Every structure is written in C-alpha cells, then in structure tokens.
Structure 1
Amino acid sequence: MTTLSPLTDLPDVAGALESARARVDKALWNRTLRKHGATVATEVSLVDAVASAALEGASYDIEEVRGGAVTDPVVQGALRVAAALPELVTVWEKAPRQALARLHLLAARGLATGDELGRPVRGGERFSMLCDLALTDRESPAILLAAVVEAELLSLRVFDTGNGLVARAAAKLTLAVRGLDPRGLIAVDAGHAAREPEYLGSSNAFATGTSDGVRSWLRHYAAAVEEGCEVMETVCARVIG
C-alpha cells in the first residue's frame, strides 16, 4: 500500500484511472507514431503550451502562436516550459525541487522579478511532503500521482506567478518519469482546456480537502487524459493527411 492508495477507494476513481490508462495504451499504439513520432510530439507540445496559457487567461489562436505573432509573456513562458520538458525529465526524477525552480524560471520570466524567479513563496511542510512523494512514490498509478502533483501545486500556490504553468508541467513530467507517456505525446493540458469549467471547479474542490472534492478532481484528471489521447490522435491524422 502506498500513501495514495486510499484515494483509489473513492467512488468511481479506480475505474476512471483504469479507463484512462487503457486509453493511453491504445493511443500510443497509433501507427503514425512509428515514423512520425517526433513530429507528433512537437505538435502536441505546441498544442499543450497554447492550452496551458489559455488556462491562465492568455488565450490565442494556435496559428498566431506558431507564426511567432504572440508576444504575451504568459504564452512565451508556456512555450519555454514545453520546450524544456524533455531535458527536465531526469531532473524531476532525481530532484523535484530543482525541476520546479527551473520550471518557474522559464514560466515566469517577464512576469516576476529576478529575486522571485525560481523561489517558492509558500507551501511549507506540505510542499516538502509533495516533493518527497514525487521523488519516492514508484508504486501508485502514474495518472493518480500526476493528478495529485498538479492539484497540490495548484492549491498550494507555491509561486505567485506562473504557478499554473508549473503545476501542469510537473504533472506531465510525472507521467514521463513513471513511463506512461515518456515522449510527452498525450495532450493532457488540451484535455484540461477542453473541460475548462470542470478543471477550475474540480481543482478548487480538491483544495478543500474533502473526499468529494478530491474525487471530483481525480475523475476530471482521468477524463482530461482521455481527452488528451483524442487530441493526439487528431494530430496524428493531420500529420499523415
């Protein structure tokens, strides 16, 4: 039994996690990935960066972002974070605090002062416990651990600026480290954005610490993963189309 095991006993959570895991496994067998995996990963990275920025209130057309016409610092931060994720996988696996500091440096440049970049401003013992969990938990389902990492960072508001970008990136790193999505092909953030009211409501519900609130968030996260698989498959179809 792991620290997170009791969460799978919440109504409908275990089934939602199992369904999401099965959906990921199916998506990653897409034949397009055999020859065009790198191209798909690059496009998913852009899609997710635009989605993550939109969840922070910086919503722009993806083609404008692709063309370099968007200078909004939130969007630019999201793009920097997305580009850095592959190299941060090993850092997250060994030193979560260091990875989070680096993510914040990337996310909040142009939004925070130099003294604030990369420095947690709150969280205390709970933040330390989360970092320890990310470092040591190798038994919990990957989707469950990623969901908890993201929701905890969102609720703790460890950083005053760019916190949402950092939280979502940390969850994606968790999925990569745990081997569920090592190449970052599942567009989870696009899944969140497609269900934005639910994303906001369930993340706020998680922060209350109630069983119903936690259950709401975990079910949302599983649904966002499944939605992210749909987005990836759409990208695959465009690549070969």
Structure 2
Amino acid sequence: MTDSDPLARLAALEGVASAMAATRDGIDALLRDRGLRRTTPDLTAESLLRGAHASAVLEGSDASLDAVRADGGDHTSQAALRVSTELLGLVPVLAKTPLQAVARIHTLAAKGVVDDIDLGRPRDAVAAARLQDLGGTLSRPTTGPALVVAAVAHAEIATVAPFVSHNGIVARAVERLVLVARGVDPTSLTVPEAGHLRLRREYESNLRGYDQGGAAGVHGWLLYAAEAYAAGAEASPLS
C-alpha cells in the first residue's frame, strides 16, 4: 500500500462499502435502541469477558465460558483475560502511538509465558517493518470506514504474526480497540471475537486468503469482516 489513503481504496472495492455500511447501521441500532437506557460498566465487562473467551478458543483454548468466568480457565484464556482488563485504557495510546498500544497488548498476553526480552518486541526485522507499515496506516487520516480500519489491522497482525506468541489474541484485541477508538462501539458492547468464533471456518479461510490470495484475498476478507462484525453485535450482552 503506497497511495496516500490505502484504506479508502480498499473500501472502494466492490461491495465493501455497502456491506460495512449495513453492518454499521445494525451496530448503531443495537447501541441506540437497546443500550442507551441500560448501558453499564457491568455490560462492558461482560462483553470483554465474552470476547476474551472467544479469542482464547480461536487461539486453541478448550476452556468453557463458565470456566473462564469462574477462575480464568486455562493459560490461553488467562492471557486473553489479562488483555481484556487493560484494553480500554489503551484507547488514547492507540490514537497517539498505535504501535505502543500493540506492544502493550502483547506484553499483557505473553507475560510469564515468553522471555521478558520478547515481550512487545517484533520477532525479526521483517516483522518490525510490517508493524511500522501498520502503524503508519493507523496514524494517517483516512476517509475509509472504521470497520475497514479494524479489519485491516486485525488481518495484518494475524497474518504477519509479528511476535513470538499470542498473535491471534493481539490481532483480535487490536481490532476491538480500533472499534472503540474510532467510535463504532465506544463502550465496547459488541463482541467481534465471538463473531469470528461463530464463523470460525470462514474466519480461518479468509485470513489465509488475505495472506496468500492477493487482491482477491483482501477483498474476500473485508466482505467476511462485515459479516463477522454483524455476528459480533448479535453476541452482545445487549442482545
């Protein structure tokens, strides 16, 4: 991506803008019609808990939601929970220094699992360069919709796998953070991770397409992401 507004170019791909707009309308309706009178910190906490569980399952955990709720579940779900407890505090960091937010998310996920020297640090020069590219994309103004920004951030981290561990958890956490920071879901009541889990086969195949399928793969990922975000809204504790 070398043009001045690559996210707007991606949003202009056939069907992407309309799919994202329809999903955004659904999210707005959920938050407006069901959330205004009963949005509480407890609902946000529940959404984050559900998201941590779903993200951990996608990362290989076999812990149930009840187990995660009771005692944190297994090591993978505990990693996702550590991220969830601090995630919303990183909103201003993402706005100013996005790569610092990404590094902090990895540190939270991987603390006690990998060597301290590897926490928040790219695993090699190629990964570092790709992260720098992503940081630039997230820092530049764009006319592309926020849902496209979130989807691209997720796919870049998930497919580049810039860290030595927990890349999927980091990718999904960054996605949620973008949705909060860019005003799609300011109180983090939708559960995009659960949307991906519900559509797991499509999720995994479209990530492979993004990584290996060229322009068509990127296009397919963005169309898939609109569907996943809609499913994530259905998984909200407001629903």
TM-score scaled by length of structure 1: 0.92
Q: Kindly tell me the number of residue pairs found equivalent between the two proteins.
A: 234
User: What amino acid maps onto 2:154 in structure 1?
Assistant: E
Kindly indicate whether the alpha-carbon contact (under 8 Å) linking 2:8 and 2:142 is maintained by their aligned counterparts in 1.
no
Kindly indicate whether the alpha-carbon contact (under 8 Å) linking 1:10 and 1:211 is maintained by their aligned counterparts in 2.
no
Are 2:63 and 1:60 equivalent residues in the alignment?
A: yes
CA distance in 2, matches of 1:139, 1:9: 11
Aligned residues with identical type, % of pairs? 36
Unaligned runs of 5+ in 2: none
CA distance in 1, matches of 2:28, 2:13: 24
What is the aligned partner in structure 1 of residue 210 from structure 2? 206
Q: Where do 4+ consecutive residues of structure 1 move more than 6 Å?
A: none
CA distance in 1, matches of 2:122, 2:72: 31
**Quick one: structure 1 residues 194 and 150, their matched pair in 2 at CA, closer, same or farther if it must change by over 3 Å?**
same
TM-score scaled by length of structure 2: 0.92
Are 2:117 and 1:115 equivalent residues in the alignment?
A: yes
User: What amino acid maps onto 2:221 in structure 1?
Assistant: W
User: What amino acid maps onto 1:143 in structure 2?
Assistant: L
Kindly indicate whether the alpha-carbon contact (under 8 Å) linking 1:143 and 1:175 is maintained by their aligned counterparts in 2.
yes
CA distance in 2, matches of 1:189, 1:69: 17
Are 2:134 and 1:133 equivalent residues in the alignment?
A: no
User: What amino acid maps onto 2:145 in structure 1?
Assistant: P
Are 2:191 and 1:187 equivalent residues in the alignment?
A: yes
Are 2:42 and 1:39 equivalent residues in the alignment?
A: yes
Kindly indicate whether the alpha-carbon contact (under 8 Å) linking 2:153 and 2:174 is maintained by their aligned counterparts in 1.
yes
CA offsets 1:30-81 (integer angstroms, 9 cap, x no match)? 33442343222111111000000000010321111111162x2211110011
Are 2:28 and 1:18 equivalent residues in the alignment?
A: no
Secondary structure at the aligned position of 1:229 is classed as helix
Unaligned runs of 5+ in 1: none
Secondary structure at the aligned position of 1:202 is classed as helix
What is the aligned partner in structure 1 of residue 95 from structure 2? 93
CA distance in 2, matches of 1:69, 1:75: 6
2:77 aligned to which of 62, 75, 78 = 75
Kindly indicate whether the alpha-carbon contact (under 8 Å) linking 2:23 and 2:227 is maintained by their aligned counterparts in 1.
yes
What is the aligned partner in structure 1 of residue 171 from structure 2? 167
Kindly indicate whether the alpha-carbon contact (under 8 Å) linking 1:50 and 1:59 is maintained by their aligned counterparts in 2.
no
Kindly indicate whether the alpha-carbon contact (under 8 Å) linking 2:55 and 2:193 is maintained by their aligned counterparts in 1.
yes
RMSD between superposed Cα atoms in Å: 1.6
**Stretch deviating more after TM superposition (49-58 or 206-215):** 206-215
Kindly indicate whether the alpha-carbon contact (under 8 Å) linking 1:33 and 1:236 is maintained by their aligned counterparts in 2.
no
CA distance in 2, matches of 1:36, 1:181: 12
Are 2:161 and 1:157 equivalent residues in the alignment?
A: yes
CA distance in 2, matches of 1:230, 1:213: 26
**Quick one: structure 1 residues 63 and 30, their matched pair in 2 at CA, closer, same or farther if it must change by over 3 Å?**
farther
**Quick one: structure 1 residues 128 and 62, their matched pair in 2 at CA, closer, same or farther if it must change by over 3 Å?**
same
